[in-house]
Structure 1
Amino acid sequence: MSSTMIFVNLPVKDLEASKGFWTKLGYAFNAQFTDENGASLVISDTIYAMLLTESRFKDFTHKAIADTSTTTEVLIALSADSRAAVDELVDAALGAGGSEPRPAQDHGFMYGRAFEDLDGHTWEVFWMDPAAVQG
């Protein structure tokens, strides 16, 4: 069985600002799939976010682009290797201009925080104790 990849397409108002935001969080872009209309954000070997200018995003849908100030179009969840890694990524997002839509959620065996990027897309970052998953 081959490894499935995911490409999340997200509309952005200012592509250069969005690229700067994600660069400050320590992520890189695949230059082969990046131009003035979009940027391929490399999250992992199998996860990518295509940050598309709103005009380019509209080429793929007949629906209106969600107004993220009043509507949640998707919650994107990313796992982290530790509680500290959750805090590190969310704190970096806040330092790069993102916002935190809610307080941290601590369930002991699972810890999570969220941030909204410059375009209001919600990214959930969580850690789960491996022993809790096995048990």
Structure 2
Amino acid sequence: MSKQIFVNLPVSDLQRSTAFYQALDFKNNPQFSDETAACMVWSEAIFVMLLTHPKWQTFTDRPICPATSSEVMLAFSCDHRDAVDKMIEVAGEHGGTVDINPVQDHGFMYGRSFADLDGHVWEPFWMDPQAVER
């Protein structure tokens, strides 16, 4: 079995958060979704579990970070530079906060960031495949 990652995120409004991630082209996997959680699939190896606050609290006693703080920044690759800009545009149109961090443009690598509805920070980026081969 290949390695997979399940990123678990507490969300204040599961329905709204599910719609937000679907707008960003994540697919919902109903097999692992119910009224307390939504499994959002980015790729064969990357899954985002959106969990209501009560569901989250069944996994840990640690407090949920306020939306104004950052615990992690989740970076993921896009197929091309325009895809980064498109994702940022869609995130903003659906209630996310765009360019929450400075735009990174190094020529061979380009990245931007957004915060989702609950303040979780995502960084879509593109890297020139030829730069990686060198």
Aligned twin of 1:78: 76
Superposed CA RMSD in Å reads 1.0
In the TM superposition, 1:39-50 aligns within 5 A as 39-50=38-49
- Where structure 2 has 5 or more consecutive residues not aligned to the other structure, the ranges are none
Identical-residue share of aligned pairs (%): 50
Taking structure 2 as the reference length, the TM-score comes to 0.95
For the residue of structure 1 that corresponds to 2:30, the secondary structure is strand
Q: Does 1:133 align with 2:117?
A: no
- Where structure 1 has 5 or more consecutive residues not aligned to the other structure, the ranges are none
For 1:93-131, what per-residue CA distance to the aligned partner results, in whole angstroms no more than 9, with x for missing partners?
111110120332100010000011001000000001111
Aligned twin of 1:37: 36
Q: Does 1:113 align with 2:105?
A: no
Aligned twin of 1:98: 96
Taking structure 1 as the reference length, the TM-score comes to 0.94
Contact 2:25 2:42 in 1 (8 A): no
Aligned twin of 2:121: 122
- Runs of 4+ in structure 1 over 3 Å off: none
